[in-house]
A and B are shown apart, each in its own frame.
Chain A
Amino acid sequence: MTNKDVKSVTGITVRLAGDSGDGMQLLGTQLTNTSALAGNDVATFPDFPAEIRAPRGTRAGVSGFQVQFAKEEIFTPGDTLDALVVMNPAALVTNIGDLRKGGILIANEDGFTEKDFKLAKVDANPLEATVINDSYRLFRVNMTDLTRKAVSEHGLSPKVADRCKNFFAMGLVYWLFGRSLDPTLRFIEAKFGKKPDVAAANEAALRAGWAYGETTEAFGESYQVEAAELEPGTYRNIMGNQALAWGLVAASKLSNKELFYGTYPITPASDILHELTKHKNFGVRTFQAEDEIAAVCATIGAAFGGTMAVTASSGPGIALKAEAMGLGMMLELPMVVINVQRGGPSTGLPTKTEQSDLLQSMFGRNGESPLPIVAPRSPGDCFDMAIEAWRIAVECMVPVMILSDGYIANGSEPWKLPEPNELSEIKIEHPEAGEPDEPFLPYLRDENLSRPWAIPGTEGLMHRVGGLEKQHETGNVSYDPANHQLMVQTRANKVANIAQRIPEQDVVGETSGDLLVVSWGGTYGACLTAVRRCQEAGHRVSHAHIRYLNPLPRNIGDLLKSFDRVLVPELNTGQLRMLLRSEYLVDCIGFNKVQGKPFSVSELIEAIEKHLPSAVPA
C-alpha cells in the first residue's frame, strides 16, 4: 500500500508507447492482466508496426498498447487518454494528440537525446515545449539510468540491463494506478525462471519503478479504480485469437470430433495456430502448409475423411483460398474458414484493423457460391461464434466463414468462463454401412437440404465427389441444364434457410425510433457505447449489432423499416450498407472510416447526432 494520497476514479485509459524493441506490448499485456485480476473491466488495443524491428527511434517504429480499466462495464479501450507513458520523442509526437488536456504524461528522459530528436525528426526537445508543459502534467523520469542502478548488482551487460527499463516503467505505472505487483512477479518467475539473473534484474527494475513513484516528491497522489460490478462467476482475461482457438477446441469436444487445422502463417491470424498447436492432447492436428491453397485443400481432404476441419487466414490468404472454398461448397462438406481481417487491399496494412472483406466473403468465389458467414463482436464472443460456425457447418454440410478482425484478434477483455457441461452438444451422424445391392445417393437431401456425410471406410457407401456439377441425388457428373439450375437453387436455398434457425436480431433500445445504428464485427463496443450515451442524452436511438451476416436474421428487414433513419458505421467504404440496401431497399446511411484504426466513441456520437431530428428531445 502506498503512503501517499489515493484518489478514487471510475476508470483510467492509459497508453504505453515506445520503440518496437522497448517491450511495450509486454508491459501492456501485464498491466491488462493485473487490472483484470483486480476485478476491473478491461479493454485493450495493441497497435504495432508491421516490421519486426522498424528503424529504432523513428516515428515508423513506434509500438503502442492502450488499455482502459474501469469499475463500470466498458466496451472499448477508450477514446482519449488519461495517461501516456513515452519512452522516446517519436512516441511522444505520434501519441500526444490523444492525451486529454491535464492528463498525465510520463517521459523516459534518458530517451530524449539529440540523437533521438534527429531520429524522430523533431527540431528541439519536445519536453521543453511550453505547450506540452502547460497542457499536461509532465513527469520526466530518468528511467534508463535508474534501471541501470537498480539492476547493477545482477551483473548484466549494459544492453541486457537497459532492456529491463520496461519493467521499471511498469513498476511506476503500477504504483500510480494502485496495481498489485504479484501477478507480474509470477509472470517473471515463469518466463525468466531459467535465467535467474535476468529474472532477478527484471524484478529489481519493477520494484524500483514502484518505489520511485512512492518516494519521489514529483508524484503527489496515486489513483485507484475499484472492482467492476460484473455478473457473478469465474473470469479470466482473454484475447480474440485465443478465444477462437478455444472455441474450436470446445466445438470439437462437443461434436466428438478430432480437429484438423490447416493454415499458412499470416498476420493477424497466426496466433490461432500458435494456440491450437499447444492442445494436441485434445486430438488437435495442426498442419502448417506450403501455401494458403494447400492449407484449405488439406482442410477439405480432412473434412472428406470425417474430421472437424478448419482453416484460417487473413484477407490476402482468403483470396488464394477462393477456388477451393468454391469446391468445398460444391462438395457440400462441413468446415470452418476463418478470416481475421486486416487493412487491405492486397498486402495493405498488415498490422492494422479493417472490416473490408465482407463482400469478399459474400461474393469472392466464381459462380453462384453462397456461404454462411458469422462475425464475432468481441474477443470473448469469438469463443461462442467458433462453436456456432461449426454447428451451422455440420447442420448444413457447408463451409462456414467466420469474419474476425485484427482489433478483436489482438484485443482482450474479461471473459466469464463457461461451464463445459452447459455447452450444448453438436450432433453428427454419419450414415452407416449400406446394403451391397442398394445404390448409395450421396446427394440425397434432408429437411435442411443437407446431404449425408458418408465417410471413406464405410462399406457400401462408396461415392465420388468433385467440382463438376452433380446430378441431383446421385452426385454423378451432369451437364443437364435443368439439373444445374436445380442444384444452384438448392445450394442457395440451403444457406438461405439457415435464417429460420438462427436467433432473431436483438436490439439495444426501443424497436422503433428516430435512428437505428447497425453494426457488425469489432466495432460493437464503440457503437454500443456511443448509442448508450445518446440514449442517456434522451435521443430515440437504438443499436442492432449483427453477428449472423449470411443469411441475415429473418427480422432485419422489418427492423430497418421501423426507424426513420438507419446509420451503418463500418471500417470500410460501406459494404454491409450495400448489402442491406440491396436486400431490403432501405436507404441506409453510411459512416465509414478506412484509416486502419477503430472508431472512437466520440466520432460515432457526432455521426449519430448529425442524423437525428434537429429538435431537442424532450
Chain B
Amino acid sequence: MTLPILKAADFASDQDVRWCPGCGDYSILAQMKKVLPDLGVPREKTVFISGIGCSSRFPYYMNTYGMHSIHGRAPTFATGLKATRPDLMVWVITGDGDALSIGGNHFIHVLRRNVDLNIVLFNNRIYGLTKGQYSPTTSEGQVTKSTPMGSIDHPLSPLSVALAAEATFVARSIDAHVKHLGMVLKRAAEHKGTSLVEVYQNCNVFNDGAMAYAQERKQRAENVVELEHGKPLVFGKDSEKGIRLVGNHLQVVERSEVPDDDLLIHDEKDPNPSIQMMLARMRYPEMPEPIGVLRDVQNIATYDDQINDQVTQARQARGEGDLQALFTSGDTWVVD
C-alpha cells in the first residue's frame, strides 16, 4: 500500500479563517500546513490543542483532530492525551498571554516533564482577543489600554523560562521570515520531547510594529542573529559583525577587528544550558536577538514513554491485572 502524498491544502479545514487582515497568524498557519506533509504523519494522527486567544483559533483551521480548550491550560490537555496516546503527534498552539500569564504554571511543568509534544507560542506582546491590554511580554513603559501611564511590569522571556525549566528543545522564529519559520517548525516536530518555538508575531491592530526591528527585512540583518549549530554567531547586512564570549558575558564585535576564531560557536547540543541562557538574554536594542534553535538535546526520557513503560513493567512483573486476585488480596473470611 502506498501512502497518499499530502499537500498543504489537504490540511486546511472547511472553516473560514477569521483573523484580522494582515495578522501574522496567517503566515504561521501557512507554514504549518506546508511543513506537516513533509513529516509523514497522517492527518488523523495529528492533533492540535490550543488555549484561548487569537492564536488559539488555530485548530479550527486545520483538517486534523483538534481541541480549543480553556485559557492557559492547553499543555495539560496535551499531556493527558499524549500520556495515553503516544502514537499521536500533538501540537500545542498558544500565545504570550495564554502560555505565560494564566498558563505560566503549566508552561513550566510541561517543559520539565518533557512530554513529547510541540508548543508553538505566538508572541505579539499584547492581548489581542481581549482588545489591547498589556501581556507578560509587553515592554516596560509601553502604553496600552490597561496601562495608560505605561506598563510597570518587567517582561518575561519565554526562552529564559523554558531553559530554566530544563526544556530539551528551545527555538525562536519570526512570522515574516517564512523559510526560517518552516525550518524551525520542522526541527521542533522532529525533536523527541517537549519542543518550544517562540514565534515573533505581529498584531497589526493593537501592537503594530512592536517587533519591526526583527520582522522587517531591512532591519532584521542588523538586529537578529540566526543561530546555526557549529557555526559562529555572525550578523549584519554583510555579516560584518559577530559575537564573542568575554568572561561571563557576550559582546558584539566588528569582524574586521577580531579574528573569527574568537567568535562564539553555537552549540545547541550542549547539555549545559548556561551559554544558551546567555543567548536567550540577548535583547534588542542593546544586543541583536537570536533566532533559530537555541537548544536541542536528545535522549532525555520523555514523560509519555516513562508512564507507559511503567505499565509495561508492572504487567511483566505481575501479569495482566486480574479482578478476582485483586478482590481476594489481603485477609478475607467466609460466611456459610
B323 contacts chain A at the CB level, 8 A cutoff:
yes
Q: Indicate whether A297 sits within 8 Å of B105 (C-beta atoms), given known contacts A281-B320, A287-B83, A418-B327.
A: no
Q: Which residues, 293 to 319 on B, are CB-close (under 8 Å) to A?
A: 307-308, 310-311, 313-315, 317-319
A466 pairs with B73, CB closer than 8 A:
no
Q: Which of B15, B79, B313 is A301 in contact with, Cβ under 8 Å?
A: B79
Q: Which of A250, A294, A298, A456 is B65 in contact with, Cβ under 8 Å?
A: A456
The residue in chain B whose Cβ has the minimal distance to the Cβ of A228 is: B335
A459 pairs with B42, CB closer than 8 A:
yes
Contacts of B332 in A (CB 8 A): 234-236, 417
Q: Which residues, 53 to 102 on B, are CB-close (under 8 Å) to A?
A: 59-60, 62-70, 73, 76-85, 87-88
A456 pairs with B47, CB closer than 8 A:
yes
A464 contacts chain B at the CB level, 8 A cutoff:
yes
B13 contacts chain A at the CB level, 8 A cutoff:
yes
The residue in chain B whose Cβ has the minimal distance to the Cβ of A250 is: B323
B330 contacts chain A at the CB level, 8 A cutoff:
yes
Contacts of A280 in B (CB 8 A): 310-311, 313-315
Q: Indicate whether A287 sits within 8 Å of B79 (C-beta atoms), given known contacts A297-B73, A462-B44.
A: yes
Q: Indicate whether A282 sits within 8 Å of B321 (C-beta atoms), given known contacts A460-B44, A462-B65.
A: yes
- Stretch in A33-41, A443-451, A488-496 with 4+ CB within 8 Å of B: A33-41
Contacts of A262 in B (CB 8 A): 80
A281 pairs with B69, CB closer than 8 A:
no
Q: Which of A183, A237, A246, A456 is B326 in contact with, Cβ under 8 Å?
A: A246
Q: Indicate whether A465 sits within 8 Å of B73 (C-beta atoms), given known contacts A298-B79, A302-B80.
A: no
Query: Once the chains are docked, how many angstroms separate the CA of A260 from the CA of B333?
Result: 32
A302 pairs with B44, CB closer than 8 A:
no
A218 contacts chain B at the CB level, 8 A cutoff:
no
B85 pairs with A231, CB closer than 8 A:
no
**Count of chain A to chain B residue pairs whose CB atoms are closer than 8 Å in the complex:** 201
Q: Which of A249, A250, A297, A456 is B88 in contact with, Cβ under 8 Å?
A: A456
B108, chain A: closest CB distance, angstroms: 8
Query: Once the chains are docked, how many angstroms separate the CA of A291 from the CA of B76?
Result: 10
Q: Which of B64, B83, B87, B323 is A298 in contact with, Cβ under 8 Å?
A: B83
A299 contacts chain B at the CB level, 8 A cutoff:
yes
Interface residues on A, range: 35 or more
Number of interface residues of B (CB under 8 A): 60
B106 contacts chain A at the CB level, 8 A cutoff:
yes
Query: Once the chains are docked, how many angstroms separate the CA of A309 from the CA of B318?
Result: 23
The residue in chain B whose Cβ has the minimal distance to the Cβ of A326 is: B70
Contacts of A298 in B (CB 8 A): 76-77, 79-80, 83
B49 contacts chain A at the CB level, 8 A cutoff:
yes
A258 contacts chain B at the CB level, 8 A cutoff:
yes
Dominant secondary structure of chain A at its interface with chain B: mixed
Query: Once the chains are docked, how many angstroms separate the CA of A285 from the CA of B86?
Result: 13
Q: Indicate whether A461 sits within 8 Å of B44 (C-beta atoms), given known contacts A253-B321, A304-B67.
A: yes
A158 contacts chain B at the CB level, 8 A cutoff:
no
Query: Once the chains are docked, how many angstroms separate the CA of A307 from the CA of B83?
Result: 10
B139, chain A: closest CB distance, angstroms: 29
Q: Which of B44, B84, B319 is A258 in contact with, Cβ under 8 Å?
A: B84
B257 contacts chain A at the CB level, 8 A cutoff:
no
Contacts of B109 in A (CB 8 A): 289-290, 294
- Using A280-B311, A297-B76, A462-B44 as known contacts, list a sample of 6 further A-B pairs with CB atoms less than 8 Å apart, ordered by residue number in A: A260-B80, A280-B313, A456-B85, A457-B45, A457-B88, A464-B67
Instruction: List chain B positions with a Cβ less than 8 A from chain A.
Output: 13, 15, 42-45, 47, 49, 59-60, 62-70, 73, 76-85, 87-88, 105-106, 108-109, 307-308, 310-311, 313-315, 317-321, 323-324, 326-328, 330-336
Instruction: List chain A positions with a Cβ less than 8 A from chain B.
Output: 33, 36-37, 39, 183, 186, 227, 230-237, 246, 249-250, 253, 258, 260, 262, 279-285, 287, 289-291, 293-295, 297-307, 309, 323-324, 327, 331, 417-418, 420, 423, 456-468, 476-477
Q: List 17 A-B pairs, Cβ < 8 Å.
A: A37-B333, A236-B327, A260-B83, A280-B310, A289-B76, A297-B76, A298-B83, A302-B83, A423-B323, A457-B87, A462-B63, A464-B59, A464-B60, A464-B65, A467-B68, A467-B69, A476-B60
